[in-house]
Structure 1
Amino acid sequence: MHRKKTRPSELPAAESESESTEPVRLTQFSHGGGCGCKIAPGVLEQMLARTAPGLAPKQLLVGIETSDDAAVYQINSEQALVATTDFFMPIVDDPFDFGCIAATNALSDVYAMGGVPLLALAVVGMPVNKLPLQTIKRILEGGESICAKARIPIAGGHTIDSVEPIYGLVAIGLVHPDNVKRNAGARPGDKLILGKGLGVGFFSAALKKGILSAPCYTSMIASTTQLNTPGRALACLAGVHAMTDVTGFGLLGHLVEICKASRVSAEIDFAALPVLPNALDYAAKGCITGASERNWASYGEHVTLPKKQFGDLERALLTDPQTSGGLLVSCAPEVVTEVLAIFLQEGFDRAAVIGGISEGKPQVTVVKGKAE
């Protein structure tokens, strides 16, 4: 059933919400927050392997074959439709911030394919007997504010009464068929560029423990609500060979996907990784999500991480689930300066070259201390 009753102004007012004086902690309702509640990549791979192959018309340029960010369906010689959906449970307690993060994360998949968002549909599941309706309104308002920044409407959606709060979007975009950027296509000799700092999972774990500082919370919100708009311009560069966004599977997980899809090997320079301020300090205090360990169990066999150089803390950063994380770009060396300039022009001052691509079996090797 398709409903268009997702706008805050259309929700009925709750008689009891003015009577409640206790602030609602959204994270208390969720067993896993943000992209950390994604099904582990190894389990997901087994699930999809057991499904029967579906219809794959020639117009379907991108399907599920390489676990890419979105489906792409060619309409004509100039246009292809980008379609994706993403939703999750609260990663923060503030309802407006939660809505902003979830919407930003969903739209990121369109940008990661090189597309421009066209419209969105809201996916809303709420425990309506436990959450004040004003809180639900604020979640929806947060999502609408991000869509307004992306200059697209929320044109409808679907709502259900659920045990845990769930919010996200179905996002629809457009891209020129020649400019589609997949997680396949990385070439030996390419450089790897990451657009945002790592450590969102550490911050979310610290928030749930009640020890995240106000400045770090501000840093977390700034990162997770920054739309990955550089994807639009990067799509027009022939030297950009592959692109994805780093989310619930962590940096290693999404890079392993690139390597598998492109049939290449990759190397990461740990010293070059951009990290959100103080994120590693929280990790050292034990603020590490359970999703990090599940991620490693799923794809660790495809990673070379020397134990003499790296400990549990470093591994946790590499596998840390990133909610609304940065774009990961594989590009020719001659366009690195241009790619970094595009990131910088759009306000991504942490974008950095973090490694490179080489020939070999799908494997990621992590090295330490090569950054200048």
Structure 2
Amino acid sequence: MSANYFKNYPNKDGFYNEYGGAFIPPQLEEEMKKINDAYFAISKSHKFIAELRDIRKHFQGRPTPVYHCNRLSQKYGGQIYLKREDLNHTGAHKLNHCMGEALLAKYMGKKKLIAETGAGQHGVALATAAAYFGLECEIHMGEVDIAKEYPNVQRMKVLGTKVVPATHGLKTLKEAVDSAFEAYLKDPVNSIYCIGSVVGPHPFPMMVRDFQRIVGIEAKDQFFEMTGELPDNVVACVGGGSNAIGMFSAFLNDDESKLFGIEPGGKSLDTLGDHAATMTLGKPGVIHGFKCYMLQDENGEPAPVHSIASGLDYPGVGPEHSMLKDLDKVTYDSISDKECIDAFFELSRLEGIIPALESSHAVAYALKLAKENPKQSILVNLSGRGDKDLDYVIENYGVPE
């Protein structure tokens, strides 16, 4: 990739080659331009950068460590390492961009943060940011996910956030995005839509990527300090793709590190609606104001999706990921629900780390790679902790003896 990659992508219109852009109602065009202009102005500002760095260090607890999984490596082969984003404040990588977006909202004079959430991690992170900056917050969440991720719903409410159920369609992540966009359209002047991944209309995929780049920057330096070389393989789960793009961004110019983005294979790849393997089985389309690979029904509309991980059950994917797939810079593959659950318990029992179900997809793929390549190193972005998933996993899968 070009040394000027981050200056070249996206282009001035928000496109990553053919993907991205802003396919939005006319009343939003001016607001998106204001957000874009404000971001470019303050992201170059020493005051903004200094405040964000202070937040990351003293509030979030960054840098998060890289950890070598000794027992997991002994059992499966290879040398498996985890970037411990589960140790970031609120328990996932989401706070990296939420604090940045909320800081941007503060500089713009916005009074209210609006967002969607699937697994609830983005919702908790944005609720945390709103409390930190003294802003109102409204989180839209599918009814199915509200029931599934009850602990995170309670955390959002404790933090002072209003949780709005999305009651149409499949009542999951796509519907939560629909609902949040509708709420934002009612008052775009006083509110800002803080998208929870590298998706949506420009400039959001770019902004979220830039705020998440800290993950890859830290991990690359930490891994080199620990081993004296770069990892042979870098693995991250992909729904919208924020944790993955944050990790991959540091390695795009390093041919010695192979990059793997892991999607939900769900119950089966054979039936539409039983998985959320967008990159594996989707084709280009427009969803939620941007162009990307998308799972589509017979009418070209976003297809129903399924994943055991609420944060991954989205029929689209980030436009930058779509471009990286076409350029063969990242290999996109899938992991089934069963493989995900097996990895959830393996990491818990062998290393004392309970991972989020989203992150468990990446862990499961790392175990496969370790078996196939016993002499190689594997760096996994452990994007979140699994507290939120415990009740759901135990209720539906029990606890193995």
Q: TM-score, normalization: structure 1? A: 0.33
Q: Which has the higher contact order (CA 8 A, sep 6+)?
A: 1
Q: TM-score, normalization: structure 2? A: 0.31
Higher helix proportion = 2
